[in-house]
Amino acid sequence: MPVGDVLPEVSLLLGAVSIVLLASFIRQHQQHWMAVLALLAVAIAVGLTFAQWNEAPRLTFSGVWALDGVAISAKLLILLAGAVAIALSPAWLWTDRRHGEYYALLLFALLGVIMMASASDSMELVVGVLLSSVAGYPLAAFHRAWTPSLEAGMKYFLIGALTNTLLVVGVVVLFGLVGTTGYTETAERLAEGRDSLALIVATACIVLGLAFKLAAFPAHAWMPDVAQGSPLPAAAFLTVIPKIGAAVALARFVSLLPADIAWRAIVAFLSVVTMTLGNLAALRQSDVRRLLGWSSVSQSGYALMAIVVVGASERALPALLVFLASYAIANLAAFAAVTHLRGRTALVDYHGLAGKAPTVAAILITALLSLVGIPPLVGFFGKLLLFEVSIAGGYAWLAFVAAVNTVISLFYYLRVAAAMMFGASDSVVHVLPGQWTRTTLMIVGLLLIIGGLGAETLMILTDSIRFAL
């Protein structure tokens, strides 16, 4: 078997195992070196992934692992976003006696998400979902002495247990229908004929299973609790990175399905409900972290727009990846700012922040405006492509609903920005000590601007990518 095809994943696995072993023997004040080791493992994985960029798209390991432009692009995005989440962690977890193992959990979760994005086999997909979930549950509840963190972890676990079961049921039904788990063979046998009712049941279960990782309706309820109660670097990770793998996995799966199965209607319905529910719920929030959680739910609805038109628009996959990249940059920047502010959560704590910490306030406001889609920020180009492919794919009504939702979202994002700009408060602003969080915040803040300026280059790089089937 071509082990060289999975060297990036092997580097993450070896890094995680090394961290588990070393963290067992070193002292508390040395645990932050595990973050350095995790970043090193991610950097090696990024380098090995770049080496795969110019290779011809293909399936490897007997057809269960995809090495195409979509998988490699998603892998790079996952790894770079993971590096940001890792770099935000040392200052936040400095006083935690056992935080060395936290970085191993991050690497295992990254590995699971990459498996989701690269899976060309339904059982491989299940393994990826389960690995990312099992590593994600303890990340959400890592502050085990704090009740909101335990509640977030428990809700994440219970919803995950249900939806992961549905995913496995769907995979089993699909296997019983076609007699194989490989995507290529599945597509061929579905084209020859099948039991439509069984296929609809399998499709619905698999879509709902992946909706959990996307934080899309009806498996979205864990997201605001995780955003509010988890360690903030873990919240940044869980609100961004699993979405990337799940969105690519869902797009890859629905591309196998025959045209006469109503999967587009199912995904379009989930898209509308998810974005609308997320935005309406966010309007009521006076907790900034919870607001970002509901915002993350709404952003999943936008991502589903591109999946609806996979196969109907040639640019659906590039649009999906550009949007995911723009969302990742903006959401990570927002969480980096909140992390730097020691996790300030009540909106009243942000009153007058622009006068006390202008750089942090500027980055947070820019991130929120990018999530809305205000030009020339990177989020504008991500949403613009979504609208374009939705209209080109025959779903102009979905683009209209998304535009209305974008206007709604402007109200709650501007409410936070207005509090920072015009609110009055005598409270002192406390920030995390050290350079880890400050440096990461500045880097992600620069990416917000550079991403908008380089959006055309990003669109050119992703324009020709397709699935290898």
pLDDT in tens, 160-177: 999 999 999 999 999 998
Describe the crossing of helices 232-254 and 100-118 by its angle, rounded to 10 degrees: 10
Is 417 or 24 the better-scoring residue by pLDDT?
Answer: 417
Is 324 or 342 the better-scoring residue by pLDDT?
Answer: 324
Closest CA to 115 of 65, 55, 44, 169: 65
Distance between CA atoms of 426 and 192, rounded to whole angstroms?
70
Look at residue 233 in the predicted model and tell me its pLDDT. Answer: 92
Structure tokens at 73: 């692009």
Mean of pLDDT values over 127-151 = 91
Q: How many C-beta neighbours within 10 Å does residue 196 have? A: 12
Residue given tokens 């199912």 in the structure block = 266
Mean of pLDDT values over 271-292 = 93
Structure tokens at 198: 């069984």
Q: How many C-beta neighbours within 10 Å does residue 25 have? A: 8
Mean of pLDDT values over 397-418 = 94
Query: Residue 436's pLDDT band (boundaries 50, 70, 90)?
Result: confident
Does an H or E element contain 60, and which? Answer: strand 58-60
Q: Examine residue 318 and say whether the peptide bond preceding it is cis (omega within 30 degrees of 0).
A: no
Q: Is the pLDDT reported for residue 455 higher than 90?
A: no
CB 226 within 8 Å of CB 238 = yes
Structure tokens at 385: 């492509």
CB 99 within 8 Å of CB 93 = yes
Look at residue 179 in the predicted model and tell me its pLDDT. Answer: 87
Q: Residue 421 carries which side chain, given as an amino acid letter?
A: M
Look at residue 167 in the predicted model and tell me its pLDDT. Answer: 95
**Which range among 2-11, 124-133, 168-177 shows the weakest confidence by mean pLDDT?**
2-11
Mean of pLDDT values over 316-331 = 92
Look at residue 182 in the predicted model and tell me its pLDDT. Answer: 87
Beta bridge partners of 65: 60, 119
Query: Residue 1's pLDDT band (boundaries 50, 70, 90)?
Result: low
Mean of pLDDT values over 366-380 = 90
Distance between CA atoms of 33 and 16, rounded to whole angstroms?
13
Distance between CA atoms of 146 and 181, rounded to whole angstroms?
42
Look at residue 93 in the predicted model and tell me its pLDDT. Answer: 86
Look at residue 464 in the predicted model and tell me its pLDDT. Answer: 67
Parallel, antiparallel or unpaired: strands 58-60 and 65-67 = antiparallel
Round the average pLDDT of the chain to a whole number and report it: 89
For residue range 7-28, what is the model confidence (pLDDT) as tens digits? Answer: 999 999 999 999 999 988 887 7
Beta bridge partners of 313: 310
Q: Is the pLDDT reported for residue 256 higher than 80?
A: yes
DSSP tag of 57: P
Distance between CA atoms of 409 and 393, rounded to whole angstroms?
25
For residue range 29-81, what is the model confidence (pLDDT) as tens digits? Answer: 777 788 899 999 999 999 999 888 888 788 888 888 988 889 999 999 999 99
